[in-house]
Amino acid sequence: MERRVSTVDARGILFDLDGTLVDSLPDIIDSFLHGFAHLGLPAPAHAEVRALIGQPLDVMYSRFAPEHVDALCVAYREHYPRNFLNRSRAFPGVETVLRTLRERGYLLSVATTKRSDMARRFVDALGLGGLLHHVQGTDGFPHKPAPDVLHRALAAMGTRGLWMVGDTTLDLRAGQAAGLRTYAVTWGTHSHEELASATPDELQPDLERLLAHLPPLG
């Protein structure tokens, strides 16, 4: 991927997707559990699955059925695209925040552990695609907390980054590793206490403080 170094000012704001921009955890859990039923395997509890969301699918399945990871991933990838909009919605205020930041001159990208093709379909289906400059998934390179997906998102937009926004400590550590300020939202996967352990710059129940940090660019 070409890195456009001519744009030297930092305008990049990166967002995790599931549990950060979108309340998608119920649909993900349903599809995750579908795999066990499909293969006739005993299923884990909802809470056990929820605690792992944000990690790659194969890592999540390996915690419960290491012998069946490949088949479970196939079943998930067949089920999820047909069911990912059953209950998933953007969190309140997300569209307004993205539109406002865009109007203020910032460059916005998703940086998710989902694969890029799936992330793009999901974002477009929820009507957020037109508000984002880029959607970066994790396609065969190290996942968060490694900063690779953040670096790729910023390179694709040709800017340096300012903030990483996420709902897990994986997002926060990835943001810190990429040299960004980190903003934790408490409406997703990890608890307030768990998020606090990663010492984000902001730990909030909404995105209002993000707007306060990011005035219109001149």
Contact set with Mg ion (CB under 5 A): 16, 18-19, 54, 167
Write down the least CB distance from residue 188 to Mg ion, Å. 5
Q: What is the rounded distance in angstroms from the CA atom of residue 86 to the CA atom of residue 25?
A: 11
In the complex with Mg ion, which residue's Cβ is closer, 18 or 23? Answer: 18
Q: How many residues does the chain have?
A: 218
In the complex with Mg ion, which residue's Cβ is closer, 27 or 167? Answer: 167
Which of 76, 78, 91, 82 is CA-nearest to residue 29?
76
In the complex with Mg ion, which residue's Cβ is closer, 159 or 169? Answer: 169
Write down the least CB distance from residue 4 to Mg ion, Å. 28
Write down the least CB distance from residue 97 to Mg ion, Å. 16
Write down the least CB distance from residue 203 to Mg ion, Å. 15
In the complex with Mg ion, which residue's Cβ is closer, 54 or 147? Answer: 54
Write down the least CB distance from residue 25 to Mg ion, Å. 9
Side-chain-side CA neighbours of residue 188 (13 Å): 35
